[in-house]
Amino acid sequence: MALPKTLLLPLLLLVAVGARGQEARVPGCYLHPINVTVRSERQGPCRGSHVAQACVGYCESSAFPSRHSVRAASGFQHNITSVSRCCTISRLQKVKVELQCPGGRQEQLEIFTARACQCDMCRLSRY
């Protein structure tokens, strides 16, 4: 059975949108653009915006029974060992943001943006 041409285009669009949604569920850590508003009060109220990059996604983690030596060393309190990996920035880049100030003045400010992301060991100090 052949589909009418009027149904074919919406069906193709639905498949394309569904495929893009599936991609987001693949484990991994990716650059994602975010719009950042920057303000400065050094020379009066100055404001600007920039599209920066953030790291988003998720990474595979696991948990497994601890080895006997680990359980014994912990007084048999540490029965499960977990290995957690988080999506983190692996490389940064400085970018300049032009700020608009009252009276038509401009100010320039440097901010950091992610340049590359990776799955790495989770550390509380990073978050």
Q: What is the pLDDT of residue 114?
A: 96
How confident is the model at residue 66, as a pLDDT? 92
Q: What's the confidence (pLDDT) of residue 105?
A: 86
Specify whether domain 28-126 bears CATH 3.50.50.60: no
What does the pLDDT read at residue 115? 96
pLDDT of residue 30: 93
Q: What pLDDT sits at residue 25?
A: 56
Report pLDDT for 43.
Answer: 67
Ranges of the chain whose pLDDT falls below 50:
1-23, 127
Give the chain as a DSSP string.
-PPPHHHHHHHHHHHHHHHHHHHHTSSEEEEEEEEEEEEE-BTBSEEEEEEEEEEEEE---EEEEPPHHHHHHTTS---EEEE-EEEEEEEEEEEEEEEE-GGG-EEEEEEEEEEEEEEEE--GGG-
pLDDT at res. 6: 39
pLDDT given at position 14: 29
